[in-house]
Amino acid sequence: MSAIEAPTMLAPRRVTDQWTVLPSWLPVPGLGALPINSFLLKGREPVLVDTGLGALGDQFVAALESEIDPGDLRWIWLSHMDADHIGNLGQVLERAPHAKVVTNFLGMGKMNLAGIDVSRVHLLDPGARLEVAGRTLVPLRPPYYDAPETIGFFDTGERVFFAADSFGALLPEPVDGTEEVADETLREGLLGWSSIDAPWLTSVDRDTLGRTLKSIERLNPDIVLSGHLPLARKGVGQLTHHVAGAYCRGASSVVDPLAIEHIEAAFA
Ligand SMILES: [Fe+2]
Ligand SMILES: [Fe+2]
């Protein structure tokens, strides 16, 4: 695959026995391309995780309908309310009359403020889990994010970790999996994306972030699903290694030009 010039929906790909990715890519001029992924869990109670870029509209719906009759959807899990995650929510809700929208209190509040119908919300209280056809989606807060309502999960059924915006990467061109990307290119992509999406990482407590990343490693997911990363089939270690290397050891290699400390120094 080569570089892209417009938002592009790619063919869905099977990830595990039950999980499928609905991948798309967004060109980012001067920086490459960013994956925008939604995910589908098939089975007795199908779950759609996020609803893609609004700009893709009918293409997104066609990709979804190529995998499942949306009328069978039981759950729509919204990681958070950013436009690249709820872009086609209205269209999907119309086609999925039996689906409930899974979010938390702040997520529901933001839906309400945006004028989105909240009558079909299934509210996840703190600590609550979602039982789905014999497996449990255990909600968790990913190590970094750009909206406080963000909820990822660990799927106990197939040991799949959904990290929402975490571990996203800006890459030179679309690829199917991280194994196709050179390690240094992946590192640069991860740090480029994190510096844009979570600039506060430069000022977090390093030990706390390090413990969070270690916890993810001990969770030892077989597959990492990120809204903004090609499939990471080799587990989470390569990703946590690069993030820890940038933000947890010594002086951060990522500079935030808007940090108050820099501004203050300029005027001192
Ligand atoms: Fe986001
Ligand atoms: Fe995002």
State the pLDDT at residue 251: 63
The ligand minimizing its distance to the Cα of 198 is 1
- Contacts of 172 by beta carbon, 8 Å cutoff, 6+ apart: 3, 32, 33, 185
The answer to whether residue 163 sits within a structural domain is yes
Q: Determine the structural domain holding residue 198 and report its residue range.
A: 8-267
**With contact defined as beta carbons under 8 Å apart, do 42 and 66 qualify?**
no
| 28 lies in some domain | yes
pLDDT of residue 1: 56
Centre of ligand 1 to C-alpha 84, Å, is 7
In a domain, 193, yes or no: yes
Residue 50 CA: which ligand is closest? 2
pLDDT at res. 258: 76
Span 172-220, pLDDT tens digits: 999 999 999 999 999 999 999 999 999 999 989 999 999 999 999 999 9
Q: Kindly give the parts of the chain with pLDDT less than 70.
A: 1-2, 250-253, 255
The CATH code of the domain that includes 78 is 3.60.15.10
Burial bucket for residue 97 (CB in 10 Å: 0-12, 13-18, 19+) = exposed
Centre of ligand 1 to C-alpha 251, Å, is: 26
Is 3 part of any domain?
Answer: no
- pLDDT attached to residue 7: 94
pLDDT value at residue 87: 96
Whether 128 maps to a domain, the answer reads yes
- Give the Å distance between the CA of 194 and the centre of ligand 1: 11
Whether 106 is in a domain gets the answer yes
Outline where DSSP puts E strands in 106-216: 121-123, 130-132, 135-140, 152-155, 160-162
The answer to whether residue 239 sits within a structural domain is: yes
d(CA 230, CA 167): 10
Domain count, the chain: 1
Ligand number, closest to the Cα atom of 82: 1
pTM: 0.94
What is the model's pLDDT at position 264? 79
Please check whether residue 2 lies inside any domain of the structure: no
- Residue 234 is predicted with a pLDDT of 81
Q: Kindly list the protein residues that place their beta carbon closer than 5 angstroms to ligand 2, a single-atom ion.
A: 84, 165, 227
**How far does residue 197's CA lie from ligand 2's centre (Å)?**
8
* 120 alpha carbon – ligand 1 mean position (Å): 22
